[in-house]
Chains A and B, each alone.
Chain A
Amino acid sequence: DTAVSQTPKYLVTQMGNDKSIKCEQNLGHDTMYWYKQDSKKFLKIMFSYNNKELIINETVPNRFSPKSPDKAHLNLHINSLELGDSAVYFCASRRTELSEKLFFGSGTQLSVL
């Protein structure tokens, strides 16, 4: 059973399109995250939700909108995709906001053409 699963695994799209990435965790965790990993493998936090409430919102363009329908799901919607959005996006979760261990999904590779 996959603990943190995200779909799709690969996403290829044209500039200007709107796309969504879905994430689900079956660990019963309270806190979920979105990270962006660029082409140089640098990993940066984008958003964090705790029990469906936004707690971290880094300097991310407002074209990116996270949505958490319940604490097991954190989806990422991206409007008006740009070339610079091409990256691997990782969903992650941890038991509580203060828990030490993060569990990561396997990533969504987004390519904007």
Chain B
Amino acid sequence: AQSVAQPEDQVNVAEGNPLTVKCTYSVSGNPYLFWYVQYPNRGLQFLLKYITGDNLVKGSYGFEAEFNKSQTSFHLKKPSALVSDSALYFCAVRGKAAGNKLTFGGGTRVLVKP
């Protein structure tokens, strides 16, 4: 069965500092990996995806993520965090063995302080 782990429930960072949200995954075959963001009282919004190709993928709002096959990780990064980045971030994986079903991690709350 495929799974996603986000080891940190919450990440605190000062505005202007780099932000990293960790994600590791387990899936049979090649993974499709995603990051979504959820602002308060809103649905999830797509940030970025890794399907194939360059291990570093760039997404919305200045976010990027690095696919590391040997470490089965897909950490989300932003070089300089903004207060408006405070939200709940979800990593997700999809693999063919699970019928293309998307499995989400437990989410990581990011709090960016001014």
Contacts and interface: CB of A to CB of B under 8 A. Distances in A.
B59 to A, nearest CB: 11
A66 to B, nearest CB: 16
B49 A101 contact: yes
Q: Contact residue range for chain A? A: 20 to 34
Contacts of A55: 99
Interface size class of B (residues with CB under 8 A): 20 to 34
Nearest to B49: A100
A107 B101 CA distance: 20
A92 to B, nearest CB: 7
Given A41-B106, A100-B34, A106 B42 contact: yes
Nearest to A105: B43
Top 6 A-B pairs, shortest CB-CB distance: A104-B43, A43-B104, A104-B44, A41-B107, A101-B46, A106-B43
27 contacts: A4-B43, A41-B106, A41-B109, A43-B104, A43-B107, A44-B104, A45-B101, A55-B99, A56-B99, A90-B43, A90-B44, A92-B43, A97-B100, A98-B100, A100-B32, A100-B49, A100-B94, A101-B46, A102-B46, A103-B46, A104-B36, A104-B43, A104-B45, A105-B43, A106-B42, A107-B42, A107-B43
